[in-house]
Structure 1
């Protein structure tokens, strides 16, 4: 995690920027425009919620922001890096270092313990298992999972599994955190605990948060709420 001085310095920086972002899919003879000339800027420590009806393009937007999909036009910049100029291998390395993903379903590996799951991005990067697990334990402690670090996902509650997924996303100290319905699969009490954790992370890390959700309560808790409709973002 960044120290307070680094966070204050980073707070002046734009971590994520979209310029004229457009995504068009071809279905037979027909082109379907999902996103059109979309603009977005998110600064370090800022939390932006994106809401919209099913099929409005929220998942497409998240995939473009994370470099999992390529735009038809326009560009995405993360930490001053234009993703469009990176080849697939370079993009994968950049994602590993700068972009954290948290989904509605935790996608933890059942055969690995919490600490092994959290350490996985660092191991993929080539860091030694000992160093990766040491870093992962520190992050698990910050999300309240230190005592459960040696448990496998099947031995954890839904909220605990989501905390491990958040730790896995944070272990690389990302510039941007992308969250797709992070509380959508949780009961109200557990969702509230994840919300409190997100509040703490926003104040103690130097990354920018983009949260896609149908939950207006979760959205209203963020710094800004944007609505995705007809391929464009507008204040909600």
Structure 2
């Protein structure tokens, strides 16, 4: 892999603000958010419901843009890219894992994992080979031809992680990745995150309510009144 550059910055927020208009009122969700994530670093973001965690994650992924400030992925400022180029950037530099895995029920695990590569334009044969390699890496090589309904919750989440990683992203954004998993399976997912961060140099931003999961990351940040604050591990 090509990302194992020590301390290379993969994602950055500079004075990020987000304000929504609700009727006549302006509602500020984020104000002055600063964040830097480096290769191989695992950053947890915690906060109460409604604190803006999902809003921030959507902006880190280029799904929404800040009202003020900059978000950079791999040194590129998202707001300066057109919609098509932002889509391409997401496909090439970012991976996404959600609490509800969002796998396509009619496709096998292998086909689900291959999908981002097919969207990129990789040949079907090469995409399938890469998908099966990644499924083996997350311990699901023997389940590649099973559809989501035939997999356990933990297996489905591992398929989602494989899908996020198959494009060799610089950074993976995770939204409550262990929220629906039992403690043992959640710990397996955490071990996988550590191995990928150390072995592939992948950066991780993990939004979670699970303080046990958060404490296992390199840093914990709390979103409080629109600002990110460091918490002691």
TM-score band by shorter chain is over 0.9
1:75 aligns with 2:70: yes
Deviation at 1:12, TM superposition (A): 2.3
Cα deviation digits, residues 136-182 of structure 1 (max 9, x gap): 11111111010100100000000000000000000100011000000
DSSP-derived class of the 2:179 partner: coil
Cα deviation digits, residues 88-132 of structure 1 (max 9, x gap): 111101100001000001100000000000000000111111110
Unmatched runs of 5 consecutive residues or more in structure 1: none
The residue aligned with 1:200 is: 195
The residue aligned with 1:231 is: 226
The residue aligned with 2:157 is: 162
The residue aligned with 1:61 is: 56
1:220 aligns with 2:215: yes
- Report the Cα distance in structure 2 between the residues aligned to 1:154 and 1:114, rounded to whole angstroms: 10
What is the number of residues matched between the two proteins?
231
Cα deviation digits, residues 60-99 of structure 1 (max 9, x gap): 0000000000110111101111111011111101100001
* Paired residues for 1:11-30 under 5 Å: 11-30=6-25
- Report the Cα distance in structure 2 between the residues aligned to 1:90 and 1:41, rounded to whole angstroms: 22
1:44 aligns with 2:39: yes
1:124 aligns with 2:97: no
- Report the Cα distance in structure 1 between the residues aligned to 2:37 and 2:223, rounded to whole angstroms: 16
The residue aligned with 2:106 is: 111
Deviation at 1:204, TM superposition (A): 1.1
- Report the Cα distance in structure 1 between the residues aligned to 2:201 and 2:191, rounded to whole angstroms: 17
- Report the Cα distance in structure 2 between the residues aligned to 1:11 and 1:79, rounded to whole angstroms: 14
Cα deviation digits, residues 192-212 of structure 1 (max 9, x gap): 111111111111112211000
- Report the Cα distance in structure 2 between the residues aligned to 1:197 and 1:114, rounded to whole angstroms: 18
DSSP-derived class of the 1:12 partner: coil
Unmatched runs of 5 consecutive residues or more in structure 2: none
The residue aligned with 1:210 is: 205
- Report the Cα distance in structure 2 between the residues aligned to 1:41 and 1:50, rounded to whole angstroms: 13
TM-score by length of 1: 0.96
- Report the Cα distance in structure 2 between the residues aligned to 1:50 and 1:156, rounded to whole angstroms: 29
Cα deviation digits, residues 202-230 of structure 1 (max 9, x gap): 11112211000000000000000000001
| RMSD between aligned residues | 0.9
